[in-house]
Amino acid sequence: MFRRSWKTKMTDSERQRGWVFFGLYLLVFPYLNAWVQRVLMGDGEPLVAEANVLYYSFLFALALLVFWTFLKRDFADLLDWLPENLFGIAVGLAGTLLLRHVLARIPLPVTDPVPCQYAAQLAIAPAPTLALTLLLIPVAEECLYRGLIFGSLRRYSLPLAYGVSVIGYALACVWRYAVEAGDPRYLLLAVLYLPVSAALTWCYDNGGSVWSAVALHAAINGCILMGVLR
């Protein structure tokens, strides 16, 4: 099968705005979100699902504003290279589920809190949790970790792009638990997210459209949700 040449569709101005967005996403927005929740809720019980939906709705809106032209071009590539993108989604999902099943057998000193959080949020607020996991998180995170980071670095070095995108995203999935618990052992949970991160990165690289990575991300989250319901 003919393999199209890979080229990022992100403009220099989008990339510059994207790096500012990414810096705020890592260093400012999480702490601002925590402060807003404390102010709004006071001593009351925190509405975790609803608060997360509001937070990621904000990130989703920013991602659309910052990467709008890029997302439009990538949607055209999704349609132009639909077989490659569908193949990436199918293989990425199967590989992720298989490898996560294998890695789950590794004895780690701490337990992954994400499935329990999903189960609790889904039981209390199903609609916000579905919106969060199937749309808001996939779009915001794939624009940053695949569209921005991988797409920017791939122009210079494919191994570097894969390494930074895969390892960076796996650590991003668990670092806040290490900070909140004051326990660096939570960083070891990143090994459980390496298959997810690698599959998302490969899916984007194979199909050339960030929308296929968004779809794969949503499918993986959907499988996790189905898993916690059993």
The DSSP string of the chain is ---PPP-----HHHHHHHHHHHHHHHHTHHHHHHHHHHHHHTTSPP-HHHHHHHHHHHHHHHHHHHHHHHHHHHHHHHHHTHHHHHHHHHHHHHHHHHHHHHHTTS--SS---HHHHHHHHHHH-HHHHHHIIIIIHHHHHHIIIIIIIIHHHHTT-HHHHHHHHHHHHHHHTTHHHHHHHT-GGGGGGHHHHHHHHHHHHHHHHHH--HHHHHHHHHHHHHHHHHHHH-
Residue 145 has pLDDT above 70, yes or no: yes
> What is the per-residue pLDDT for 6?
65
Residue 1: predicted pLDDT: 43
Is the pLDDT assigned to residue 163 strictly greater than 50?
yes
202 vs 50, which has greater pLDDT? Answer: 202
Note the pLDDT of residue 196.
95
Residue 48, pLDDT score: 63
Q: Specify the pLDDT at position 47.
A: 55
Q: Provide mean pLDDT across the span 202-223.
A: 95
What is the arithmetic mean of pLDDT over 20-41? 84
Percentage of the residues of the chain whose pLDDT score is greater than 90:
60
Can you give the pLDDT at residue 54?
Answer: 86
Q: Tell me the backbone φ, ψ of residue 125, rounded to 5 degrees.
A: -140, 80
Q: 10 Å Cβ neighbour count for 197? A: 23
pLDDT at residue 32 in the model: 85
Per-residue HEC secondary structure of 71-129 comes to: HHHHHHHHHHCHHHHHHHHHHHHHHHHHHHHHHCCCCCCCCCCHHHHHHHHHHHCHHHH
Tens digit of pLDDT for each residue in 80-120? Answer: 999 999 999 999 999 999 998 898 888 999 998 888 888 88
Return the sign of the alpha-carbon dihedral for residues 192, 193, 196, 202: negative
User: How confident is the prediction for the chain on average, in pLDDT?
Assistant: 88
**pLDDT tier at 7 (50, 70, 90 boundaries)?**
low
pTM: 0.92
